[in-house]
Structure 1
């Protein structure tokens, strides 16, 4: 039976990857391109940011169904701020122990509302493994071994049990599984407690050397995203070179690529891509406290205080705002102030924010569009995925183009479905904002990436990781226009093709 391996590379940016491959770099990625099927655009969700996008890969769902609506949001019902980014300022404000507890336990146990690929496959009788993937929830209990430093952190339990797949390798927290003969070696503080590409690569190759891959393995490689943030998307060649070498060793372990693909279906994708940011620090960052200086914004990392009017939750190149009072005239004034800033791209909200009927609204300085799901004679056009839509207003605000009753969005791909997938989430902000290319939203305590790279908007430059599929059984249909929400189904189809019963 063919086994399936899914490799998720954070911020894998398709145009840059294929440009380097065309120049002769990454020979083992090139071998996969020749041996399998490649799609140069495997669309991310909105917001195109890590924890929400990884949740969509893990579940095959949009945030409206899986519940993780970004890396930073506000649960208004419980008055709880949720933050899953690596900003040192935010980690210090919420407490490092609380930060890790939320990542380790609450993300999987509380926030994620849909079944993961590990749960779906193991309940169907398959065995699965997770290597450093943050959305690890399964049905098998594992006792966590906390690193000494983490034991000292206030708010973090010294030991706990997590529920994951049969094989769970999660940095230092779960480094020595009982069921397989592998052991994490790149661990400790100097290796970020094992949550690095180096550790993930080593564990993949250990499983290969002992031929202990289960039916399905998901391995996650986070470092490319960090390098692109700090140095710009074009700097990704360093980490991708290491991954290309790992692929070569993986193929060689099984006697070469052809022999490997006789035994495995290999899928490689990313969660989002990245776009370059402005080198001018002051111009690059959109300071929400300054843009909305007439309003009282809640302090970052803290619940409502007396006098607070807006809870801002920046997610890099997008941000969501939660309003404490639902005064429509006041909110309209806030929208106008935001659009006065030439670095702001779009305002996005549900039409009922202003009692404007059903559907969803996108505004820019140049126009306004209201759209909604429609059927029958009301529908104007369908997208690539069979969704049918109606709208009124200016399609240009999402670069919408209609031809032969099919609507496409070249600069904001799959805009309608992606926006609905965020706005219908129960914890979504009242108002979403996106930034033009080169800019990010910040508040005190959140660090921008001037002269580097960023993501999380609706724009294609933030939203287009590639998709590689090699060794797939003939019955597996690879979509012409894949989304990261389709990846789970592809992996499941690969296993079902081996065992249709």
Structure 2
């Protein structure tokens, strides 16, 4: 039975890769009347800070747990499990997934992400709502861990191609919908196996509203916008217009759109932005295998061997470089990386400190949490070295302010402490992206993953409640939702 809350239900729609500038252009040119209405009647900020790396599974984990990867433990869409010496891939490019093993990638996404990898020591929004006697709903989100057991419906084709069991039980919120794996509607059609498209998400949400089944909090994700942006670029106004039509259908369930915001709290967010790429392969693609050609690099289609020295794990414009050979100092690897001017952040741990170098500037920055310096988010740090490597400045109150790399100190720290192992984090300049063996890349399109503000600043819109976010960061959204739900 769905628990009813005396307060307004919260409906959060996460539109994958929605960016503020094209959103506002779509609104100004009449392509997005529903989003225009919600914006006119609520609070909007174009620059909420996302998580890092700016990849959906990491971002959604931050949204649901209110923590960065150093606590929630999902380092990216692709990473290396040092303890078990194997790659963890939740579904990157087709060639990369099949070379690593499609069966394992499907199992990672369908089951392992939520039930194994997402840190059990941190609680999700759904789990905390359950402690308060309230329910939640997840629609089309790959990160969904909650307090209830659900049997996944593994389609026959997926069972055969991915060698998955037809009896998988997962932990999810009371109301759980994810493409063909689980849905609210008994006779629903979904053209995608592992996730629902924008129409599927809209239909599932309308189903809950029409039957008065909305719980205290509902998260609905629209994922296909990300694929469009990769190929068409960030200013895909047609994609925004298509999403807006589905939001219109949801609002039309009510007597009026005004009635919709009187009865519910509506939150609209993107999850990451994009950096445009050009046409020149040689200028865009940073091939890490060539930069580190003097070392023995593991091939993704073979198990890690004893003489492998390096494992590469690429998340588009960000990558983890794992150094397996303990005889190789991390500084030696960094010394090879700083020679490429397209790599603007090179970071690693050393004696419990975070070390920053760059291929664009000389010098070094060393920092760790705690200390006399504070940033605009109230976080304290001990720092020595060159702040300009991360384009950080001190204001007249001796407070640290960010520019090109929003909340850089905390977000880099989160990535560097997200999982076990000896590794270096590298970040590409806008317009470039990393490549390793079979890594997908995006010529004449757009991509994300990096620390840069182009991918890190996302739109945030809330209406139906008198609420503002003074220092907007995605990592703080969980507390806002729980506060509004109580």
**TM-score under structure 1 normalisation?**
0.91
In the TM superposition, what are the counterparts of 1:52-63 in structure 2 within 5 Å? Answer: 52-63=58-69
Partner of 2:405: 412
Partner of 2:361: 366
Partner Cα distance (1:111, 1:167) in 2 = 22
CA contact (8 A) 2:338 2:357 kept: no
Partner of 1:152: 160
1:132 Cα offset (Å)? 1.0
Partner Cα distance (2:18, 2:186) in 1 = 27
Partner Cα distance (1:372, 1:76) in 2 = 23
Partner of 2:231: 230
Partner of 1:333: 332
CA contact (8 A) 1:359 1:373 kept: no
Q: Deviations for 1:171-218, whole angstroms, at most 9, x for unmatched residues?
A: 10112x4xxxx346342xx43454322211221222233332222111
Partner Cα distance (1:184, 1:133) in 2 = 20
For the structure 1 residues 362 and 464, does the alpha-carbon distance in structure 2 shift closer, same or farther, using more than 3 Å as the test? same
SS at match of 1:260: helix
Partner of 1:185: 188
Partner of 2:390: 398
**Between 250-259 and 409-418, the greater mean CA deviation after superposition:** 250-259
Partner Cα distance (1:461, 1:195) in 2 = 27
Say yes or no: does 1:482 pair with 2:472: yes
CA contact (8 A) 1:130 1:218 kept: yes
1:325 Cα offset (Å)? 1.7
Say yes or no: does 1:67 pair with 2:73: yes
Partner of 1:78: 84
- Given the alignment, which residue of 109, 118, 121 partners 1:103? 109
**TM-score under structure 2 normalisation?**
0.93
1:429 Cα offset (Å)? 5.4
Partner Cα distance (2:342, 2:358) in 1 = 14
For the structure 1 residues 360 and 306, does the alpha-carbon distance in structure 2 shift closer, same or farther, using more than 3 Å as the test? closer
For the structure 1 residues 320 and 248, does the alpha-carbon distance in structure 2 shift closer, same or farther, using more than 3 Å as the test? same
Partner of 2:140: 132
- Given the alignment, which residue of 159, 170, 173 partners 1:162? 170
Partner Cα distance (1:85, 1:243) in 2 = 23
Partner Cα distance (1:406, 1:347) in 2 = 24
Say yes or no: does 1:383 pair with 2:384: no
Partner of 1:462: 455
1:313 Cα offset (Å)? 0.5
Q: Deviations for 1:421-472, whole angstroms, at most 9, x for unmatched residues?
A: 1112233652011111111111121110111111111100011111111012
Partner of 1:271: 271
SS at match of 1:238: helix
Partner Cα distance (2:145, 2:187) in 1 = 20
CA contact (8 A) 1:39 1:480 kept: no
Partner Cα distance (1:301, 1:66) in 2 = 28
Q: Deviations for 1:215-268, whole angstroms, at most 9, x for unmatched residues?
A: 211111111111111221112x23321221222222222122221111101111
Partner Cα distance (1:120, 1:360) in 2 = 36
1:327 Cα offset (Å)? 3.2
Partner Cα distance (1:171, 1:300) in 2 = 29
For the structure 1 residues 485 and 150, does the alpha-carbon distance in structure 2 shift closer, same or farther, using more than 3 Å as the test? same
Partner Cα distance (1:23, 1:332) in 2 = 51
CA contact (8 A) 1:317 1:434 kept: yes
1:146 Cα offset (Å)? 1.5
CA contact (8 A) 1:63 1:69 kept: yes
Gaps of at least 5 residues in structure 2 are 1-6
Partner of 2:45: 39
CA contact (8 A) 2:347 2:354 kept: no
For the structure 1 residues 429 and 251, does the alpha-carbon distance in structure 2 shift closer, same or farther, using more than 3 Å as the test? farther
Aligned residues: 476
**What's the C-alpha RMSD, in Å, of the aligned pairs?**
1.8
Partner of 1:213: 214
CA contact (8 A) 1:56 1:484 kept: yes
Gaps of at least 5 residues in structure 1 are 497-501
Q: Deviations for 1:355-376, whole angstroms, at most 9, x for unmatched residues?
A: xx7344343441321122233x
**Between 59-68 and 9-18, the greater mean CA deviation after superposition:** 9-18
Partner of 2:247: 247
